Every structure is written in structure tokens, then in C-alpha cells.
């Protein structure tokens, strides 16, 4: 039940409505509970609302029609007192006369209720809230009703770009409140949502909360961040003879060229700052944004070093006058609205863009050119310096070349020589004395597959690759010769491991000690 959630969560929240949020979740069903779980598919921690009589395995596989899946952001965002206070102050300041307020992505209804409360008993007032996620719509209805605001807020279970003027809303809204933001700012569809709202749902020159957002960046040197993407540079330290990135195939493994959400404060002592913070993009909520934008920022280095990454964050200016701010900057940054000195939160982080390979070497006072591009949903960067003006530091490989994309965490594990030594010893001991063994790798581990095939010249290896699928097998085909084994001894099983039969294993049995060893390394 909800009493399992720490009681310290809710006293921080503004408005009695959020206290009633807790009661809304615990009422109606005495068997509903919040649990923090790791999604085995994405690897992310997620808050899940479960029914106690519901089989736990149904939570992530979509087997239950009644299960409510709520990501960490909802509860953690409600606990972010700095964020809540900033929005409340900006809404109270912006809404001073009766008006029509539109709340896009209303979630639990906090911003809608703030807007309704700001107008108080004014006549001709209206709040229209749209939320596409049905479980949150049901929850918001309870919260709004418990706060006595059901007659002040019209809730519509649609995406904002599905709303039609004259049908869903009777008139254009004078005020827009929204918080469809992720750590990168744009990933939740901020630009398309604002475009449609300005085209179809808002008056000309509306008031908005937030008023605008600005993204900032900083060049850093960090061995930790380097290890998250450059397996070729780190694998040389390993002594096991396994070549995940063989010579001549430097680009066969890598991370996707994108920004990755990351709690940079956790590695603050390890990060060497190579520049002052610099402004990248500015997005105005009060006018229609462009889908595409480019800029070049000339950054002067403040230290000698090697640029391994660009760390970025954003700052919200919530009011028109520029007196209320909220920031996701790391703790070492002193900027308006930087709340990272307060309570730790998980709903927004900083972002990291990896500079490929071993990074870019720079000297103090050298100028580096950062070319930034944004689309509807993402921001990307290229780097070049004066010494290599034509050499753009980006992820590039020839069209048609095969490249296996892995998460940064997996790249870091595969490049850890100590971890690899441990795995080498464990598998060697397990295979010792086995004749023609059948080995099954039940997860996505290309390393374990290569290791078994490398160590045992007579083994038959079966790999499921549930996430990588045939891309994992394509990779093995490309590196087999470099690792001294024939791909004929490796088989890709395109089926669930729970459906495996003796027919699939060619009537061979897997030794229980070996099977337990491999399945216990799930995710490695």
C-alpha cells in the first residue's frame, strides 16, 4: 500500500492537493502500491503502481490491462520543491486576470490546479488540461475532485496536437502552462507541441509559463566519460586475448551519437573543466519555434587537456520579466535558477555528448568551434579546432559499414580490464576438462560468447541475443577470425530462452553449472 512509500515524500510538496494525491492513490483500492523496479529491457529504474494480487512478471510485459505504469519522473517531480515553487510563483505572477489557460501534458494536474487557484473566484475563467496517458487521466480526475476543482478544470484525454478548436476547446487560450521537458529539453516533443499550440490553440502573443528555455554547454576532460564510449582505446589494457574491436575494425562497436542523460555531480571531482559555460540554443515558448536550428559557438579553452565530452544543461526563465528561474546545471555551475545545491532529484539530469575516439587535444586559450544542430526532438554537436579545421570530431563511418550500437554502460564494462580478467578466470574454470561442451549464453553478452568460443576450440555456443537479435550475430561473424574461432561453432537462437527444447540443442544437454553461470551474468 502507499504507506510503503516513505512518508517524507509528501510534506515537501506545495498545495494540499498533492497531499490528497497520496490519498487518491490509496483510496478505492487498499491493495495498490508503489514499487521502484529496474526494467530488465531498458535498464532504467521505474516507479510502478501495482496491484498486490497481480503477478509481478506482468508489470513489464504488458500482460495486465489494469496495471498502472508510472515512471520515476512523476513522483520525483512532485517532490522537487524548487521546481514546484518556481512554477507556482510564475503562474501566480502571470495569471492576474480572468483568462483561458491551456495545460499541455497535465500529468497529475499540479500546474492546472495552480492556474485555477491563481484565478480564484474570478468570473470568465477556464482551465483546459490535456493528458494522453489514460492512467494519469484517471488519477488526475481523482486529485482534482478531492481538491474541489472539478468545475474549474476541463480534462481531455488526448494529445495536444489532437485537440481541435471549436470541438475540444471553445476558444483560443490566452495562457499556456506546460512542462513537456526531458533532460535534453526537446526529447518529449516540446517543439512540435508548441508549433501546433501556436497554430491552433493559442491567441497571438500568448502568455506562457515557462517563458523561454536556454541550453548551455561546457567542454570537459573525464577518464570516466571516455571509458563509456571508447572501447578501442581502453581494450588495449586487457590481457585476455579477446578482441572486441580488432585492428582495422575500429568503428565496429560504438555508442549512438546522441546526448545521454547523466548525473554529472556524481563524477564532479573527476571532471576537469576545459572551458567556461557557453550558451548554445534559446527556445521561446511564447512564439512558434522552428523545427531546425544551427549555430556555431567559438569556445576559448581555459586549460590544457583533452576534450572527452560536452556536458550540457538548460535553464528555464519562467516569467516574462526574467526574475524566476529553474536550472538543471551541475553543482559546480553558479547560474540563476541552479537548484542542484538543493535536494537530489532524478527526473532531470545533465546531458553528455561524447567526443569520439580519444577526444580532442587542446591547449589553454586555444579556440574550439562547436557546431550545434537541433531537430524537433534532439540536439547534436560537432567539434573542430584550429589545428584540424577540416577534421570534424563526429561519429562517422562509411555507408554500408556494419556497426553494432551498445549502451555506454556496456562499453565501459567491456573495456574494464579487471572485470574481463574475472570473467576470463570464471569461464576458464567452468570449461576446464569439458569435452565438446554445449554452452548457452542467454543474454546479449557478445563478450561471453566470444570468450567461450575463444577458450574452447571444441565448444558449440548458442546465443539468444534477446535485444541485439541478428545484429549480435552479424558482429560475431565480423570478428570471428580475429578471435581465432570458426563462426560455424556459434549459433544464434531467434526465440525465447524459456521456449528452448532438446530439439534446439541438437539433443544435447547443458550442464547445470554452466547454465547457471551464464544466466547469472545477465546484462554483462
Angle at 346 between CA 344 and CA 350, to 5 degrees: 95
Task: Note whether 212 and 319 are within 8 A (CB).
Answer: no
Annotated active-site residue 89? The verdict is no
Q: Is 440 helix (H, G, I), strand (E, B) or coil?
A: strand
- Identify how many contiguous H helices and E strands the chain contains and give both numbers: 14, 25
Is the CB of residue 505 less than 8 Å from the CB of residue 475? Answer: no
Strands 360-362 and 305-307: antiparallel
Which of 46, 51, 188, 282 is catalytic? The answer is 188
Angle value at C-alpha 423, between 418 and 428, nearest 5 degrees: 125
Residue carrying the nine cell digits 519562467: 318
Strand ranges, E, within 363-406: 367-374, 379-385, 404-405
Catalytic residue among 131, 179, 207, 235: 179
| CA–CA gap between residue 272 and residue 306 (Å, rounded) | 9
C-alpha cell at 145: 475532485
How far is C-alpha 211 from the geometric centre of its chain's CA atoms? 24
Cell numbers placing 428: 576458464
Residue 290: other Cβ atoms inside 10 A: 10
Beta carbons of 58 and 48 less than 8 angstroms apart? no
Quick one: CA dihedral 230, 44, 375, 373, positive or negative?
negative
Q: Dump strand ranges (E) for 199-239.
A: 202-209, 212-221
User: How many angstroms separate the CA atoms of 483 and 448, rounded?
Assistant: 13
Give catalytic status of residue 207 as yes or no: no
C-alpha cell at 253: 562497436
What are the backbone angles phi and psi of residue 441, rounded to the nearest 5°?
A: -105, 110
By CB neighbour count within 10 A (0-12 exposed, 13-18 middle, 19+ buried), where does 201 fall? Answer: buried
Beta strand 460-463 pairing with 350-354:
unpaired
* Gyration radius of the chain's alpha carbons: 26
Strand order in the sheet with 293-300: 293-300, 367-374, 379-385
346 with 72: CB under 8 angstroms?
yes
| Cβ pair 192, 290 in contact under 8 A | no
* Beta carbons of 189 and 180 less than 8 angstroms apart: yes
State yes or no: cis peptide before 210, omega within 30 of 0: yes
Q: Are 87 and 80 in contact (CB under 8 A)?
A: no
CA distance linking residue 516 with residue 524, whole number of Å: 14
Answer yes or no: are the C-beta atoms of 13 and 81 closer than 8 Å. Answer: yes
Catalytic residues: 179, 188
Amino acid at each position: 500500500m502507499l504507506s510503503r512509500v516513505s512518508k517524507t515524500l509528501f510534506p515537501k510538496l506545495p498545495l494540499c492537493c498533492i497531499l490528497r494525491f497520496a490519498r487518491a492513490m490509496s483510496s478505492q483500492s487498499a491493495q495498490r502500491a508503489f514499487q521502484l523496479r529496474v526494467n530488465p529491457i531498458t535498464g532504467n529504474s521505474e516507479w510502478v503502481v501495482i496491484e498486490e494480487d497481480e503477478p509481478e512478471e506482468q508489470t513489464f510485459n504488458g500482460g495486465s490491462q489494469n496495471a498502472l505504469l508510472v515512471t520515476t519522473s512523476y513522483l520525483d517531480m512532485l517532490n522537487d520543491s524548487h521546481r514546484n515553487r518556481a512554477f507556482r510563483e510564475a503562474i501566480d505572477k502571470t495569471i492576474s486576470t480572468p483568462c483561458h489557460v491551456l495545460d499541455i501534458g497535465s500529468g497529475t494536474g499540479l500546474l492546472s490546479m495552480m492556474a485555477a487557484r491563481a484565478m480564484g473566484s474570478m468570473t470568465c475563467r477556464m482551465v483546459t488540461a490535456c493528458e494522453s496517458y489514460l492512467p494519469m487521466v484517471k488519477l488526475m480526475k481523482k486529485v482534482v475532485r478531492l481538491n474541489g476543482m472539478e468545475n474549474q478544470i476541463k480534462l481531455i484525454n488526448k494529445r495536444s496536437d489532437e485537440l481541435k478548436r471549436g470541438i475540444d476547446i471553445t476558444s483560443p487560450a490566452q495562457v499556456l502552462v506546460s512542462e513537456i521537458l526531458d533532460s535534453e529539453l526537446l526529447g518529449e516533443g516540446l517543439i512540435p507541441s508548441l508549433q501546433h499550440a501556436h497554430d491552433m490553440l493559442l491567441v497571438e502573443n500568448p502568455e506562457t509559463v515557462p517563458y523561454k528555455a536556454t541550453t548551455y554547454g561546457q567542454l570537459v576532460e573525464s577518464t570516466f566519460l571516455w571509458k563509456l564510449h571508447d572501447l578501442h582505446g581502453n581494450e588495449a589494457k586487457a590481457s585476455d586475448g579477446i578482441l572486441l574491436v580488432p585492428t582495422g575494425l575500429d568503428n565496429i562497436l560504438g555508442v549512438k551519437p546522441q546526448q545521454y542523460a547523466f548525473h554529472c555531480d556524481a563524477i564532479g571531482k573527476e571532471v576537469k573543466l576545459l572551458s567556461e559555460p557557453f550558451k548554445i540554443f534559446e527556445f521561446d515558448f511564447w512564439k512558434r519555434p522552428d523545427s531546425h536550428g544551427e549555430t556555431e559557438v567559438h569556445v576559448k579553452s581555459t586549460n590544457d587537456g583533452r576534450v572527452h565530452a560536452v556536458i550540457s544543461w538548460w535553464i528555464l526563465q519562467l516569467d516574462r520579466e526574467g526574475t524566476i528561474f529553474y536550472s538543471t546545471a551541475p553543482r559546480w555551475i553558479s547560474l540563476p535558477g541552479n537548484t542542484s545545491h538543493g535536494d537530489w532529484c532524478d527526473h532531470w539530469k545533465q546531458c553528455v555528448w561524447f567526443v569520439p575516439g580519444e577526444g580532442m587535444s587542446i591547449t589553454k586559450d586555444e579556440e574550439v568551434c562547436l557546431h550545434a544542430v537541433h531537430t524537433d526532438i534532439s540536439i547534436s554537436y560537432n567539434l573542430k579546432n584550429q589545428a584540424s579545421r577540416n577534421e570534424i570530431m563526429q561519429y562517422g563511418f562509411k555507408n554500408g559499414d556494419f556497426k553494432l550500437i551498445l549502451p555506454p554502460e556496456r562499453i565501459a564494462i567491456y573495456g574494464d580490464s579487471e572485470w574481463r580478467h574475472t570473467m576470463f578466470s570464471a569461464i576458464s574454470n567452468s570449461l576446464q576438462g569439458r569435452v565438446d561442451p554445449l554452452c548457452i549464453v542467454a543474454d546479449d553478452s557478445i563478450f561471453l560468447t566470444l570468450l567461450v568460443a575463444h577458450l574452447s576450440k571444441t565448444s558449440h555456443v548458442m546465443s539468444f541475443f534477446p535485444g541485439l537479435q541478428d545484429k549480435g550475430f552479424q558482429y560475431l561473424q565480423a570478428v570471428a577470425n580475429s578471435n581465432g574461432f570458426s563462426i560455424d561453432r556459434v549459433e544464434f537462437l531467434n526465440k525465447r530462452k524459456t521456449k528452448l527444447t532438446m530439439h534446439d540443442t541438437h539433443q544435447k544437454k547443458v550442464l547445470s553449472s554452466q547454465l547457471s553461470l551464464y544466466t547469472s551474468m545477465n546484462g554483462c
